[in-house]
Chains A and B, each alone.
Chain A
Amino acid sequence: MRQPDQSTQVGTLAVEVQNVTKNYGTFTALKDINLGIKDNEFFTMLGPSGCGKTTLLRSIAGFESISKGDLLLYGENIADLPPNKRPVNTVFQQYALFPHMNVTSNVMFGLERLGHSATDAKRRAREVLAMVQLTQFADRLPSQLSGGQQQRVALARALAPNPKVLLLDEPLSALDLKLRQSVRVELQQLQHETGITFVFVTHDQEEALTMSDRIAVMSNGQVQQVGTPVEIYEHPVNRFVADFIGDTNIIDVTVTKTTGQSATCRLPDGSTLLCEANDGAAEGTGHISIRPERIRLCNPGTGQLDGRIKSRVYLGTDLNVHVTLKDGTDVKARIQNTDGIDIPNVGEPVDLRLEASGTRLLVD
Chain B
Amino acid sequence: MAKHIDIRKFTGFRAIAVLCLFLLYAPLIVVSVYSFNDSISITTWGGFSLRWYEDVFFGPEAPKFKQAAINSLTIAIGAAVASTAIATAAATAMLRAGKFKGKSFSFMLINLPLMVPEIVTAVATLIFFSAIGFVSGYMTILVAHIVFCIPFAYLPIAARMQSIEPFYEQAALDLYATRFQAFRMILLPLMAPGILSGFLLAFIISLDDFIITNFVKGAGVETLPTAIFGAVKLGIKPNVMAISTLLLLVSVVFVTLSYLVGRMGENTEK
Residues of A whose CB lies within 8 Å of any CB of B are 61-63, 82-84, 88-90, 92, 94, 96-100, 109-110, 113-114, 143, 157-158, 161
Contact = CB atoms under 8 A, between A and B. Distances in A.
B167 A84 contact: no
Secondary structure type dominating chain B contacts: helix
Contact of A84 (B174, B186, B190): B174
B171 A98 contact: yes
A84 B177 contact: yes
Contact of B269 (A63, A96, A98, A99): A99
Interface string B168-188: 101111111111010000100
| Residue among B171, B172, B181 with most chain A CB within 10 A | B171
Given A94-B165, A98-B168, A99-B190, A89 B175 contact: yes
Interface residue tally on B, bucketed by range: 20 to 34
Contacts of B175: 84, 89, 109-110, 113, 157-158, 161
B268 interface: yes
B168 A110 contact: no
A109 B172 contact: yes
B12 to A, nearest CB: 47
A143 B190 CA distance: 14
Given A92-B167, A113-B181, A98 B186 contact: yes
Interface string B136-173: 00000000000000000000000000000101101111
A90 B174 contact: yes
Given A92-B167, A92-B171, A98-B171, A110 B268 contact: no
B167 A114 contact: no
B270 interface: yes
Interface in B28-80: none
B230 interface: no
Interface of B: 165, 167-168, 170-179, 181, 186, 189-190, 268-270
Contact of A143 (B167, B186, B270): B270
Nearest to A114: B176
Nearest to A107: B175
| Residue among A61, A89, A96, A158 with most chain B CB within 10 A | A96
A94 B269 CA distance: 14
Given A98-B186, A114-B176, 13 more contacts: A83-B174, A84-B176, A90-B174, A92-B167, A92-B171, A94-B165, A96-B167, A99-B190, A99-B270, A100-B268, A109-B175, A157-B175, A158-B174
A217 B127 CA distance: 68
Contacts of A113: 175-177, 181
Nearest to B192: A100
Nearest to A93: B167
Nearest to A86: B174
Nearest to B168: A96
A84 B173 contact: yes
B177 A92 contact: no
A110 B190 contact: no
Contacts of B170: 63, 83, 90, 92, 96
| Residue among B168, B174, B177, B179 with most chain A CB within 10 A | B174
B176 A161 contact: yes
9 A-B pairs with the lowest CB-CB distances in the bound complex, closest first: A110-B175, A113-B176, A96-B171, A96-B167, A83-B173, A90-B174, A84-B176, A100-B189, A84-B173
Contact of B167 (A82, A94, A157): A94
B126 to A, nearest CB: 44
A192 B171 CA distance: 24
Nearest to A97: B171
A82 B165 contact: no
| Residue among B173, B176, B178, B269 with most chain A CB within 10 A | B176
A157 B190 CA distance: 19
Given A98-B168, A99-B268, A109-B172, A84 B178 contact: yes
A89 B270 contact: no
